[in-house]
Amino acid sequence: MANLVIRPLVSAADLTACAELMVSTEPWLTLGQSTAESLRYFQQPNRERYIATLGERLVGFLVLNFQGPFVGYLQAICLAPDCRGRGLGSALVAFAEDRIFRDHPNVFLCVSSFNPDARRLYERLGYAVIGDLPDYLVVGHSETLMRKTRGPLRPATRS
């Protein structure tokens, strides 16, 4: 069995494969994301995009956002359905954390209320719930903001 390789998304073929994977699976099915939106999603500025491969096959992706108030945001993570449940997702999260913690003390992410399996995985990996955002992406479902931290943004001040 080939090893998981994670590398930057660079080619148009990778972009198309990521968008196709995204629209084929939860949570993006329930969120109603179209192929055109998914293609745009991977082309947003100020993001780092990575693909995961097993041999020649693209099996997953990661999108990291380094802008905004919750800087160090794991914006999207996905593995092909037949590759789930054997530790590869945890390896993708570990890669994201290595990258984000290099520059920032927090990793943030959101998980949909209808995705309890992913939430359980994040909790096991040390993410704490910050709070719920009801009806944030679609009516009837909330997004739960979670955070893993290595410390505050600013050093302690002396009194």
Ligand X SMILES: CC(C)(COP(=O)(O)OP(=O)(O)OC[C@H]1O[C@@H](n2cnc3c(N)ncnc32)[C@H](O)[C@@H]1OP(=O)(O)O)[C@@H](O)C(=O)NCCC(=O)NCCS
Is residue 87 at the binding interface for ligand X, with CB under 6 A as the rule? yes
Question: Where does this chain touch ligand X (CB under 6 A) — which range of 23-31, 43-51, 134-142, 148-156?
Answer: 23-31
Q: Which is nearer to ligand X, 121 or 137 (CB)?
A: 121
Q: Which of 113, 96, 79, 86 is nearest to 148 (CA)?
A: 96
Cβ–Cβ under 8 Å, residues 14 and 58:
yes
Is residue 84 at the binding interface for ligand X, with CB under 6 A as the rule? yes
Is residue 86 at the binding interface for ligand X, with CB under 6 A as the rule? yes
Classify 147 as helix, strand or coil.
strand
* Sites for ligand X among residues 42-81 (CB under 6 A): 77-79
Please return the burial class of 102, using the count of CB atoms within 10 Å of its CB with bins 0-12, 13-18 and 19+: exposed
Binding site for ligand X (CB under 6 A): 25-27, 77-79, 84-90, 111, 115, 117-118, 120-121
